[in-house]
A and B are shown apart, each in its own frame.
Chain A
Amino acid sequence: MTALTPQDFDLLSNLLKTRSGLVLGTEKTYLLESRLTPIARRRGLAGLPELVAQLRMRPSEELLVEITEAMTTNESFFFRDTVPFEVLKTHVLPQLKVARAATRRLRIWCAAASTGQEPYSIAMILNEQAAQWAGWNIEIIGTDLCKAALSKAQAGLYSQFEVQRGLPIQLLMKYFAKVGDQWQVSADIRNMVKYRTFNLLESMAGLGQFDIIFCRNVLIYFDAPTKAQVLDNLRRQMPADGSLFLGAAETVLGLTKALKPVREQRGLYIPVDSPMALAAAG
Chain B
Amino acid sequence: MMKSCLVVDDSKVIRKVARRILEEMQFEIEEAVDGQDAWQQCQKKVPDVVLLDWNMPVMNGLDFLRTLRGASLDRQPVVVFCTTENDMSHIRAAIEAGANEYIMKPFDREIIEAKFAQVGLI
Residues of A within 8 A of B (CB): 77, 82, 160-161, 164-166, 168-170, 172-173, 177-178
B104 in contact with A160 (CB, 8 Å):
yes
Please, how many angstroms separate the alpha-carbon atoms of A170 and B103 in the complex? Answer: 12
Please, how many angstroms separate the alpha-carbon atoms of A160 and B83 in the complex? Answer: 13
Residues of chain B within 8 A (CB-CB) of A178 are 86-88
- Other 13 A-B pairs with CB < 8 A, given A164-B111, A173-B88, A173-B92: A165-B110, A165-B111, A165-B114, A166-B118, A168-B101, A169-B95, A169-B102, A170-B95, A173-B91, A173-B95, A177-B88, A178-B86, A178-B87
Please, how many angstroms separate the alpha-carbon atoms of A169 and B91 in the complex? Answer: 8
Q: What residue of chain A has the Cβ atom nearest to residue B114's Cβ?
A: A165
A168 in contact with B118 (CB, 8 Å):
yes
Q: What residue of chain B has the Cβ atom nearest to residue A163's Cβ?
A: B104
Q: In B94-118, which residues have CB < 8 Å from any A CB?
A: 95, 101-104, 107, 110-111, 114-115, 117-118
Q: What residue of chain B has the Cβ atom nearest to residue A164's Cβ?
A: B111
Interface centre among A160, A164, A165, A177 (most CB of B within 10 A): A164
User: How extensive is the interface on chain B, given as a class?
Assistant: 10 to 19
Please, how many angstroms separate the alpha-carbon atoms of A66 and B9 in the complex? Answer: 47
Residues of chain B within 8 A (CB-CB) of A177 are 88
Residues of chain A within 8 A (CB-CB) of B88 are 173, 177-178
Residues of chain B within 8 A (CB-CB) of A165 are 110-111, 114
B114 in contact with A166 (CB, 8 Å):
yes
Residues of chain A within 8 A (CB-CB) of B107 are 164
8 A-B pairs with the lowest CB-CB distances in the bound complex, closest first: A169-B102, A164-B111, A165-B114, A168-B118, A169-B101, A160-B104, A166-B114, A178-B88
What are 20 of the A-B contact pairs (CB < 8 Å)?
A: A160-B104, A161-B111, A164-B103, A164-B107, A164-B115, A165-B114, A166-B114, A166-B118, A168-B101, A169-B91, A169-B95, A169-B101, A169-B102, A169-B118, A170-B95, A173-B91, A173-B92, A177-B88, A178-B86, A178-B88
